[in-house]
Amino acid sequence: MMQKPLILVTNDDGITAPGIRALISVMKEIGDVIVVAPDSAQSGMGHAVTINNTLTLEKVMIDEGLEAEYACSGTPVDCVKIALGQILDRKPDLCVSGVNHGSNSSINVIYSGTMSAALEAGMSGIPAIGFSLLDFSWNADFEHIKPFIMKITREALNKGIPADVVFNVNFPRLSSDEIKGVKVCRQAKATWVETFDKRISPHGKEYYWLKGEFINQDKGEDTDEWALDNGYISLVPVHFDMTSHHSIKSINAWDL
Amino acid sequence: MMQKPLILVTNDDGITAPGIRALISVMKEIGDVIVVAPDSAQSGMGHAVTINNTLTLEKVMIDEGLEAEYACSGTPVDCVKIALGQILDRKPDLCVSGVNHGSNSSINVIYSGTMSAALEAGMSGIPAIGFSLLDFSWNADFEHIKPFIMKITREALNKGIPADVVFNVNFPRLSSDEIKGVKVCRQAKATWVETFDKRISPHGKEYYWLKGEFINQDKGEDTDEWALDNGYISLVPVHFDMTSHHSIKSINAWDL
């Protein structure tokens, strides 16, 4: 690619999060960067889109040397939609989302605003990658994963992400020396089992906090959970055809 | 099944929507019904889950002859989580979601609160079906589709929905006579192309409304869009493994 690629950067932790700042700093070395990210934390928003409310868009300047940065009042998916539908004159060559503060491995791909933004770009025909680090802390260290992000992104631009596929990349919470490399994986079969913390407000009204425990039922060694547990960066190629193709035949025999 | 099945009913249009009332009336003839649904409209919420805020739960009585009804302040996925984690003593035998006022065919499965609720139940090992009618109107007529809902639900309970599969059922906007039957389909490859309606508030601030145009790029006759366009009820078996399994091998050859 002779021309510098145009790269759209977004996330779900909000435009000021250290994770997106780290991602922007890598992307600035690769191409022309435009940032459209939520003006507040939007974790767990999944593929939510704002249809019963309005959106605002504010041009901000946080890092230097960028095409532009916009803070959007909506969800991560809204950010991608408004970038493509309102802000950009042409399709970006790549969309990257993250770096998320916390894991988006296995079933978390469905709850994740970070990955939903990447999927939304993928659905619009834009090569897209979501990056996440297994460290929820706001002060998480992203410095040592930058070379890995650089290499994965360059290879994705060189080789071309397959059509209708988006990459879900998760980094273990390990130092550079401890990281063994990248494993291409399938999504582990895991679930969240919820409990609720019931409390009483000062006004006597009951309310609940959602708490969850992550249960990995999958013993496979070809999964993202296995890779992360064993010192690898996991890369799951994700698609948005949710059809269970192999069940179609058996259900066709039903009396419906 | 000798014992009456326990059926959890939810939706995304809110607990008072005519669509969920129609669904409840059918389920009351099949089993013991418990309703946990959003206290307000939650369309387009996808798989969003409330982690940065609290949830409230109010016991309400709208229809007679039910085990219980609860209005929840959260998203459709929150409703399923709080039903399983807080309200119910045992796993329900079935979860049904809808009847949605409007289509959840093809790519809409990813944006849909109705289908995300059904998927959440499926992820917890509960057989689940989402029902949607291609009529956005609040006054949509659900009466004539009740026998179809009954038949599909009974057959699903009898035959057993395959593990890790959830049904996405969409009804065309046609009379009983015009409906040709049920087709088991794959999700059509379609996208929304967004435009934004930019306005100025009375206070001089710019804001946007999301508008979208649905583009079906898929000419296949085995898709849900084809079935609905040709007078059939579409049934797509949906799963939540989003791995693009067939791309793993080629990406393994990359230098990552």
Which residue of A39, A200, A210 to mutate against B (max B Cβ within 10 Å)? A210
Strand partners, A140: none
Longest Cα–Cα distance of chain B, Å, equals 65
Angstrom distances, CA of residue A201 to CA of A197, B55, B212: 13, 12, 41
Structural domain of residue A231, as residue ranges? Answer: 6-187+221-241
Query: Domain holding B77: CATH number?
Result: 3.40.1210.10
Q: Based on C-alpha coordinates, what's the Rg of chain B? A: 19
**Residue A209 in domain:** no
Residue B145 token pair: 């589709």
Please judge whether B209 and A54 are an interchain contact, meaning their C-beta atoms are less than 8 angstroms apart: yes
Confirm or reject contact between B188 and chain A (CB < 8 A).
Answer: no
Any domain includes A35: yes
| pLDDT surpasses 70 at A1 | no
Residue A15 located in a structural domain: yes
Q: Could you tell me if residue B101 is inside a domain?
A: yes
Q: Which of A41, A85, A182 is the closest to B195 by Cβ?
A: A85
| Integer Cα distance of A225 and A107 in angstroms | 10
Task: Name the phi and psi angles at A20, rounded to 5.
Answer: -75, -30
Q: What is the pLDDT of chain A when averaged over all its residues?
A: 95
Residue A214 is assigned to a structural domain of this protein: no
Q: pLDDT tens digits for chain B (256 residues)?
A: 568 999 999 999 999 999 999 999 999 999 999 999 999 998 889 999 998 899 999 999 998 888 899 999 999 999 999 999 999 999 999 999 999 999 999 999 999 999 999 999 999 999 999 999 999 999 999 999 999 999 999 999 999 999 999 999 999 999 999 999 999 999 999 999 988 999 999 999 999 999 989 999 999 999 999 999 999 999 999 999 999 999 999 999 999 9
Give yes or no for a contact between A52 and B43, defined as CB atoms under 8 angstroms apart: yes
Q: What is the ipTM of this complex?
A: 0.93
Q: In what order do the strands lie in the sheet with B128-133?
A: B57-60, B68-72, B32-38, B6-10, B94-101, B128-133, B166-171, B233-238, B182-184
Within a domain: B254: no
Q: Which of B247, B248, B250, B252 to mutate to test the interface with A (most CBs of A within 10 A)?
A: B247
Which of A44, A84, A238 shows the shortest C-beta gap to B48? A44
Listed by number, the residues of chain B in 1-40 with a beta carbon closer than 8 Å to a beta carbon of chain A are: none
pLDDT for the residue A88: 96
Q: Which residues of B touch A242 (CB under 8 A)?
A: 109-110, 187, 236, 238-240, 242
Domain count, chain B: 1
Could you tell me if residue A249 is inside a domain? no
Residue A251 in domain: no
Report which of A44, A45, A43, A38 is spatially closest to residue A74, judged by C-alpha positions. Answer: A38
| A91-114 tens-digit pLDDT | 999 999 999 999 999 999 999 999
Percentage above 70 pLDDT, chain A: 99
A86 and B55 in contact by Cβ < 8 A?
no
CA-wise closest residue to A47 among A71, A81, A19: A81
Minimal C-alpha gap between A207 and chain B (Å): 5
